[in-house]
């Protein structure tokens, strides 16, 4: 891991592994969808046969071992999606949050550029529209509205984030260069306006985190691994 090639090789291997495992299984799942290392399966043969299928998967290769999580009261988390059973037996989907989720995001009073704060709100709204079905979307947007208020945002800022994003296509960019400036609330706007007169685009950099000022608590590993 850490280079572009290994994940591709791992996916190639897992595709062959899955084909072999399912073809050799006595009882097969209705569907099998995998994203990286998480697999969503619909199993119609009961829990006992499901345990046998899990043992079958883990018996193919000692280095490829699966763990299993089954639905609980009609709900099953898959990545950031909560897949749930509807009253008519069909499947619905909405945003999933872990039980320890705090609903704390970039606060309105934090010292960041307004565009960064707006992007936090708009990205959460986009996530809701992408992951929720029509039956769950209204409830999710109402929940996000309350969360945004708890993080200090006004009604106008929330309504702006709730509007669908529009893409602006620029046919000609007159900026000749770009200046990356650390964001300071009292001076960034003045400097960016001055640079704009000379066709220089300004990009605000977020402030450094407190952890970046702290010394390392661990000693460097040194030459402990083979290599040049």
Percentage of the chain modeled with pLDDT above 70: 90
**Residue 47 phi/psi, 5° resolution?**
-70, -35
pLDDT for position 228 = 56
Mean pLDDT, residues 31-52 taken together: 92
Given a contact cutoff of 8 angstroms between Cβ atoms, the answer to whether 47 and 70 are in contact is: yes
Q: Which of 14-23, 109-118, 199-208 has the weakest average pLDDT?
A: 199-208
pLDDT for position 223 = 66
What's the token pair of residue 201? 């685009």
Q: What is the greatest pairwise CA distance in the chain? A: 72
155: number of Cβ within 10 Å: 10
What's the token pair of residue 203? 């990009």
CA dist., res. 107 & res. 120, Å (int): 10
CA dist., res. 115 & res. 119, Å (int): 6
Bigger pLDDT: 169 or 97? 97
Domain ranges in the chain are: 5-70, 73-167, 177-212
Q: Please write the tens of the pLDDT for every residue from 100-157.
A: 999 999 999 998 999 999 999 999 999 999 999 999 999 999 999 999 999 999 999 9
207: number of Cβ within 10 Å: 14
Confidence of residue 5 (pLDDT cuts 50, 70, 90): confident
Please name every residue paired with 35 in a beta bridge, in sequence order, or none if there are none. Answer: 38
Given a contact cutoff of 8 angstroms between Cβ atoms, the answer to whether 207 and 111 are in contact is: yes
Task: Write down the mean pLDDT value for the chain.
Answer: 88
Contacts of 199 (CB under 8 A, 6+ apart): 174, 175, 176, 177
Contacts of 222 (CB under 8 A, 6+ apart): none
Contacts of 219 (CB under 8 A, 6+ apart): none
Given a contact cutoff of 8 angstroms between Cβ atoms, the answer to whether 110 and 117 are in contact is: yes
- pTM of the model as a whole: 0.74
Residue 219, pLDDT above cutoff 80 = no
Q: Please write the tens of the pLDDT for every residue from 163-202.
A: 865 555 555 555 578 888 888 888 888 998 898 888 888 8
Q: Please write the tens of the pLDDT for every residue from 62-74.
A: 999 999 999 999 9
pLDDT for position 18 = 94
């Amino acid at each position: 891991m850490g280079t572009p090639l290994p994940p591709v090789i791992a996916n190639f291997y897992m595709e062959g592994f899955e084909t072999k495992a399912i073809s050799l299984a006595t009882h097969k799942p209705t569907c099998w969808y995998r994203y990286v290392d998480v697999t969503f399966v619909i199993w119609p043969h009961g829990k006992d046969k499901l345990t046998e299928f899990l043992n079958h998967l883990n018996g193919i290769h000692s280095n490829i071992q699966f763990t299993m999580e089954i639905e609980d009261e009609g709900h099953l988390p898959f990545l950031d999606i909560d897949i749930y059973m509807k009253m008519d037996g069909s499947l619905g989907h909405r945003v999933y949050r872990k039980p320890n989720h705090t609903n704390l995001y970039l606060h309105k009073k934090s010292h960041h550029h307004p565009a960064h704060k707006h992007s936090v709100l708009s990205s959460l709204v986009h996530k809701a529209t992408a992951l929720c079905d029509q039956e769950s979307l209204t409830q999710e947007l109402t929940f996000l509205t309350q969360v945004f208020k708890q993080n200090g945002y006004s009604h106008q800022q929330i309504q702006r984030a709730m509007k669908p994003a529009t893409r602006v296509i620029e046919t000609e960019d007159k900026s000749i260069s770009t200046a990356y400036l650390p964001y300071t609330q009292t001076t960034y706007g003045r400097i960016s306006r001055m640079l704009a007169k000379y066709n220089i685009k300004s990009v605000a950099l977020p402030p450094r985190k407190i952890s970046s000022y702290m010394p390392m608590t661990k000693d460097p590993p040194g030459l402990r691994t083979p290599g040049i």
